[in-house]
Amino acid sequence: MADDRAGKMLATGEPRHPRAPQLIKDRDGEDRLHEECGVFGILGHPEAAAFSALGLHALQHRGQEAAGIVTYDDQQFHIERRLGLVGDNFSKPEVIGHLKGSIAAGHVRYSTTGETILRNVQPLFADLGTGGFAVAHNGNLTNGTTLRRQLVKDGSIFQSTTDTEVVLHLISRSQKRRIVERLVEALRQLEGSYAFVCVTNDMLIGARDPVGIRPLVIGRLGDAWVLASETCALDIVGAQFVREVENGEVVTITQEGGLESHRPFPMRPARPCIFEYIYFARPDSVVGGRSVYEIRKRMGAELARETPCSADVIVPIPDSGVPAAIGYAQISGVPFELGIIRNQYVGRTFIEPEQKIRALGVKLKHSANQAVVRDRRIVLIDDSIVRGTTSKKIVAMMYEAGAREVHMRIACPEIKYGDYYGIDTPDRKQLISANMNAEEIRREIGATSLAFLTVDGLYRAMGSERRDPLSPQFSDHCFTGDYPTDLTDLNGGGTGAQLSLLTEVG
Ligand code: AMP
């Protein structure tokens, strides 16, 4: 929509951030597979910023390094972007008080590099010919480097190193009149995964990539509209779930016109990311009409059917293995017990201690509950093995606590392939299952036995009879190597000087 009142941005967040981000490890204080990002948007609510902060807080599991909120108050845009947790930054009255207006977009992020630069923290904002425009991105473009290189060649000056900025440049260059047409023209050039939440001075916009890799839901809160990565963010603000933004759909929402749906892409079957169910999404969220908690239990149940085990107790690795362990215990009839206790105070932005202390490793976070473990044959359940670090430490801890046998069961298949859509798995060299078979891994982690859920078992847990190899129902490339989009940058389209810059995902 044309707009003469080009938004003015007040960027008050930037100078206030001295914290050293390179010390922040992933949510468990371990250098492992990293998180994605979470997005939130709201239109038509007088406390848009406070509600966005609440929504982002509920999405904090999707990224803990930084958070940002942009609002518009009928005169100008306001932006706060901070390193650190939502609760530490956006509970302060001076921060929220500054974010005036009834329309907002927010973002929590995890960057894939060791450091986060404040100018990469989203939402990103630009003053376009059509007015102010803010974008929050969950996902990762697989042709971001290629597009960026072309844009730079054509004269664009980039402010950040995130692939999301490409979108702003593409919109800016579009010759179309209305903002939604400009956005669509930009989207047509993107490859990879995206769930976008954007705001203009009078519009909230949501968009999902053509196969819907990353999730995005629509909610209503009285007369207000909400967009969020997961339903848990609707729940926290008391919004009612309306529906998901569908794959390849763009929704524009205005106060006067309500929600309009646009379908700029040819219809394709959706392929949402199966890892949302395995690990990312919060268990109380409903993704694609399925309760994440129930699906995780079913993964555990399928695992019990596929690889039963004579044992005395089922022990989850907390918190990731808990629902699957409940499912495993229910099918096997073996009692579920808390044989590992998690220290709740190892923060999600755990600051790396001295090496000497760090060598104590997993004990900082987990401790064995001897009352359960001693002299028992235990089945240890976790949701996934990435590098094998956690399993190895925990198996050893179980033996130290007196376990007689430690049978490891993993409620997802072997992760053999990297992810380029925002999960940021380590490269294949570091994925233990890309380099060892199950027996070799068993020996490496020191378990009595080891088994993974099969791909078909995973699909059964999702409610399908089996994986359809011709048209897979989910993005499951981590297990199968079957990527849902082209990988232009990876395949050479984006090699060159800029490649090293583009290591950030949304
Ligand atoms: P690793 O120790 O490298 O084998 O990682 C496996 C552990 O990482 C399991 O306990 C998982 O719950 C957890 N995990 C899986 N995906 C992620 C992720 N994206 N970020 C952080 N931890 C993860």
Active site residue 273: no
Ligand 1 centre from 63 Cα, in Å?
Answer: 14
* Residue listed under structure tokens 């990565």: 229
Position 139 scores a pLDDT of 94
Q: Give the integer Cα–Cα distance in Å for 250 and 167.
A: 15
Distance CA 40, CA 58 (A): 10
Q: Structure tokens of 367?
A: 């401790």
CA 367/CA 343 separation, integer angstroms: 8
Neighbours of 9 (CB within 10 A): 17
DSSP letters along 326-382, please? Answer: HHHHHHH-PPB---EEE-TTS-TTPBP--HHHHTTGGGGTEEE-HHHHTT-EEEEEE
DSSP helix/strand/coil, 210: coil
- Can you tell me the distance from the alpha carbon of 71 to that of 48, in angstroms, rounded to the nearest whole number? 8
Ligand 1 atom closest to Cα of residue 275: 16
| Cβ atoms of 340 and 366 closer than 8 Å | yes
Tokens in use for 55? 């929504």
Please give the number of the atom of ligand 1 that sits closest to the Cα of 280: 19
- For residue 190, give the nearest of 140, 240, 119, 123 by alpha carbon: 140
Q: For residue 33, how far is its CA from the centre of ligand 1 (angstroms)? A: 6
pLDDT of residue 364: 75
- Separation of CA 462 and ligand 1 centre (Å): 21
Atom of ligand 1 nearest to the CA of 383: 12
Instruction: Tell me how long the chain is.
Output: 506
Surface-to-core class of residue 201, CB atoms within 10 Å of its CB (0-12 exposed, 13-18 middle, 19+ buried): buried
Atom of ligand 1 nearest to the CA of 36: 19
Q: Which residue has the tokens 């966005």?
A: 52
Report the nearest-CA residue for atom 13 of ligand 1.
384
Number of H helices, E strands in the chain: 17, 22
Q: How would you write the pLDDT of the chain (506 residues) with one tens digit per residue?
A: 333 333 333 333 332 222 222 223 333 444 344 447 999 999 999 999 999 999 999 999 999 889 999 999 999 999 999 999 999 999 999 899 999 999 999 999 986 543 568 889 999 999 998 999 999 999 999 999 999 999 999 999 999 988 899 999 999 999 999 999 999 999 999 999 999 999 999 999 999 999 999 999 999 999 999 999 999 999 999 999 999 999 999 999 999 999 999 999 999 999 999 999 999 999 999 999 999 999 999 999 999 999 999 999 999 999 999 999 999 999 999 999 999 999 877 654 344 445 455 455 556 789 999 999 999 999 999 999 999 999 999 999 999 999 999 999 999 999 999 999 987 666 788 899 999 999 999 999 999 999 999 999 999 999 999 999 999 999 999 999 999 999 999 888 754 333 333 334 45
Edge-first strand order for the sheet with 405-410 is 313-316, 377-382, 405-410, 449-452
Q: Whose CA is nearest to atom 23 of ligand 1?
A: 33
Q: Which atom of ligand 1 is nearest to the CA of 389?
A: 2
CA distance 228 to 105: 10
Look at residues 232, 453, 435, 222 and name the one whose alpha carbon lies nearest to residue 324.
453
Ligand 1 atom with the shortest distance to the CA of 26: 21
Neighbouring C-alpha atoms within 13 Å toward the C-beta of 483: 16
Distance 280 CA to ligand 1 centre (A): 10
3-state SS string for 378-389: EEEEECCCCCCH
Cβ 5 vs Cβ 201: under 8 Å:
yes
- The single residue of 37, 232, 412, 478 carrying the catalytic annotation is 37
Closest residue (by CA) to atom 20 of ligand 1? 34
CA atoms of 346 and 356, how far apart (whole Å): 17
How far apart are the C-alpha atoms of 110 and 67, rounded to whole Å? 9
DSSP for 4-21, please give it. Answer: SS---EEE-SGGG----G
3-state secondary structure of 406: strand
CA-only gyration radius of the chain, Å: 23
CA of 430 to the centre of ligand 1 (A): 13
Kindly report the protein residue whose alpha carbon is nearest to atom 5 of ligand 1: 386
3-state secondary structure 282-296: CCCCEECCEEHHHHH
| DSSP codes, 223-235 | TEEEEESSHHHHH
Q: Ligand 1 centre and the CA of 385: distance in Å?
A: 6
DSSP assignments along 21-83, one per residue? GGGB--TTSS--S----EEEEEES-TTHHHHHHHHHHHTGGG--SEEEEEEE-SS-EEEEEEE
On the question of a cis peptide bond just before residue 319, with omega within 30 degrees of 0, the verdict is yes
State pTM to two decimals: 0.90
Let me know: does 471 contact 129? Beta carbons within 8 Å: no
Side-chain half-sphere of 119: how many Cα atoms within 13 Å?
6
Q: Does residue 110 contact residue 63 with C-beta atoms inside 8 Å?
A: yes
Whole-number pLDDT of residue 345: 75
Q: Is 212 helix (H, G, I), strand (E, B) or coil?
A: coil
Which regions of 295-431 does DSSP assign to beta strands (E)? 313-316, 340-342, 366-368, 377-382, 405-410
Instruction: Give the pLDDT of residue 492.
Output: 83
141 Cα–ligand 1 center, Å: 23
Indicate the top mutation candidate among 320, 386, 390, 430 to test ligand 1's pocket, ranked by most ligand atoms within 8 A of CB. Answer: 386
Task: For each of the domains in the chain, give its residue range(s) and CATH number, in order of start.
Answer: 10-16+33-271 (3.60.20.10), 291-474 (3.40.50.2020)
- Cα of 384 to ligand 1 centre, how many Å? 6
Chain center to CA of 424? 10
Separation of alpha carbons 475 and 275, rounded Å? 8
Within 6 Å (CB) of ligand 1, which residues are found? 26-27, 32-35, 279, 317, 320, 382-391, 423
